[in-house]
Structure 1
Amino acid sequence: ELVKETLLVDAQGKPVEGDAFGLDVLKQYKDWKAGVVKAEEMKYPVYKAQKDGQMLYVLPMMGTGLWGPVWGYLSVKDDGRTINGSTFDHKGETPGLGAEIATPIFEEPFEGKTFTDEEGAYTGIKVYKGGAGTTDPHGVDGISGGTITSQGVDEMLMRTLAIYDLYLKSTIVKAPEPVVEVTVMDTLATQATDIQ
């Protein structure tokens, strides 16, 4: 079993009571789209997994494509910002077009992308039209001929990762800044000599 711990977070990225496996993410998403559930009432599952000795955060997400629901999972490295892997799927996107989100051609370029800049500011992962995503550390290429599906995945990523980013920033312990040692005695001795 890869999953070592599960939890739910609220819209502010704070852990809350509940069963991550028991949450019907699709129903909650549909209720939100219909106005039955407010955005601030939504819950987001987090699965902490161990693979090949590495801690990963598996983050489920839900959105809307051209013909219906699209969803995905991103696994995030223990730095809290780098994508380790991704998988996406759909209910009824067009074969050869939007349905391509569920293929390695779309999924593999997410590996190594980051959703924060070097200072930790949230950037999201942008799905680009026209090839711009290959050079952007925070973006991937969309699906040719699958513009609406790509836009749905883009919206899903930007909205959901913003919540997960709040959680990860509050959880990941950053390494302390290195301490710079200064030899005070040598400095004081030099100053004392200058005074005489």
Structure 2
Amino acid sequence: MDYGAMLEYLPLYAHAALLTLRIGWIGIAGSIVIGLVSALVTSFRVPILHRIVRVYVELFRNTPLLIQLFFIYFGLPRLGLPVDAELCGCLGLALLGGAYMAETFRSGLEAVETGQTESALSLGMSRRQVMHHIVLPQAIALSIQSFVANVIFLLKETSVFSAISLLDLMFVAKDLIGLYYDTTECLVMLVLFYLMIIVPVSIAGTILERRLRYGAFGA
């Protein structure tokens, strides 16, 4: 193991890790918004829209992210919609994650007993109050485990961004291996940087899940 070479490559990996984190978290934030809106549309069966959402969810859950990125990066410019690599990464991750988050949030919303909603409405609460004070808190607690798993999954999926020439961790590792043939050193650093990104998320998710699982929440 050439530790001198690993130290030399460290700044390149650090820069790539920051890019990976930036695109990853922007994409995840977008996926949360898309997923929540999609889950509400599906749960309340909004006319026409809920069918569109179902098609979107099935389409993006059943196709690889790499194909989706290729369609966005190479296909949209042919339709007159140029997209740079970083925007493509964020958009692709948000759309893929939104499909998974939609199912996570939908299952959480549907797991809340309808009797609680009916009881709250009979007590004079508005539907907005019921959703805000009763349904959403329980739905979040019930779906937190799947939510964290989705976040980790999306962070790992950033490894395919190198296919659209983004200078992410995978791109740097493959580039250095091709130039200097330090395969072991480059792969070890790649693993370490992904662990530094994902392990804190996993730990934070476990702590959050334990804090939210009290009373009837998460039972």
> What TM-score, normalized by structure 2, do the two folds share?
0.22
Return the structure number with greater helix share.
Answer: 2
- Greater Rg by CA: 1
The TM-score with structure 1 as length reference comes to: 0.24
Name whichever structure is richer in strand by fraction.
Answer: 1
